Structure 1
Amino acid sequence: MAPRRCPCGTGLPYAECCGRLHDGTATAGTAEQLMRSRFSAFAVGDPAYLLRTWHSRTRPAALDLDPRVRWTALEVLATTGGGLLAAEGTVEFRAHSVVDRTAGSQHEDSRFVREDGGWRYLDGVALP
């Protein structure tokens, strides 16, 4: 049986891609990599990872994922900054989902900043 592909869309096996970030054996090197790993955390149902990678100023106290939502695909549309040596960056994306057999998507421009040496999700703006 072939290894499960990572939900983030890189085409890599989950264990070699976002799975390494989720289990703590690797950290995101770029804002885009963190954004992809956060999408994958939604897809696999890992709220602990989402909270760990949320900036302390904007992180909620708890996070309950809706079990009806199935995240199906991610499109990264644009990035600014967010490289290996950058302190901040943005990632524009469209995340596709299915809820109760109805397809939908979320289009957002997310901001990421470094905190304690690692990338963190700060906030995002919903786009049409």
Structure 2
Amino acid sequence: MASSRPLLLERAHRPLYPRHGYSRCVCATGGGFGIKSVVSTSKKARPCPCGTDLPYKDCCSPLHESANGAGLQRPTSAEQCLRARFSAYALKTHHKMIMRSTAASNPARRGSVSSDGKVTTTFEQDVKTTQAWIDYSKLQIMGQRAAADGSEVLLDIQYCIKQVYDLQTGKKIDAPKTQVIRETARFGQEEGAGWVLLGTESTNWDRELLQVKDATVPTTS
């Protein structure tokens, strides 16, 4: 995302990382990285990766399962939508929940085109690739602001990522660095979908350099 496109939340316009052989573009994964569509029973009993300390089965799992056709549950708040999206990325599962909780007006739905115009990907492919290539952890909600009529909510968030594959070779990185991402995301409601991601107001992630913009933002091993 060459401009201020978000890292976690929007997945807009351009996918996060290039696949081997292409510059600044991720090629379609199509599940080729082994993305799973379900979470094991044992993992459901563990704390949810969204940071609430609740078991996953009692937190984000119902929304994830509903997106796969197991029910009709939808996010009832901006925070719930955010946390469920983050958990899906962190667990590398339930990409359909991420897609369904992205607003119809969000440009991310158009998919991506490589800088040379030779490679195109769908929104679904972009989401799956990002899930596969990035590890997510330590979500924190730093602030929340709602519109006067309650129709939209801004969430200030911070979380950590690790790039687990080399951008050029596609090989797994032995000791990936942790980078701290800070974003402000805008959520609203859509009929039949509940709360969805409308867009991102700001992010400290530079999608051309593939690193945080502010050198003072912590980067650790």
How does the TM-score come out when normalised to structure 1?
Answer: 0.87
Aligned match for 1:114, one of 164, 189, 192: 189
Taking CA–CA contacts closer than 8 Å with sequence separation of 6 or more, which of the two structures ends up with the larger relative contact order? 2
Q: Which residue of 2 aligns with 1:38?
A: 85
Task: Please list every run of at least 4 consecutive aligned residues from structure 1 whose deviation after the TM superposition is greater than 4 angstroms.
Answer: none
Q: Which residue of 2 aligns with 1:76?
A: 141
Residue type at the aligned position of 1:57 = S
**C-alpha distance in 2, partners of 1:79/1:96?**
19
What are the ranges of 5 or more consecutive residues in structure 1 without an aligned counterpart? none
State the Cα distance separating 1:88 from its structure 2 match.
1.0
Alignment of structure 1 residues 84-99 onto 2, 5 Å: 86-99=150-163
Q: Which residue of 1 aligns with 2:53?
A: 11
Residue type at the aligned position of 1:115 = E
Are residue 54 (structure 1) and residue 76 (structure 2) matched? no
State the Cα distance separating 1:123 from its structure 2 match.
0.4
- Report % sequence identity: 27
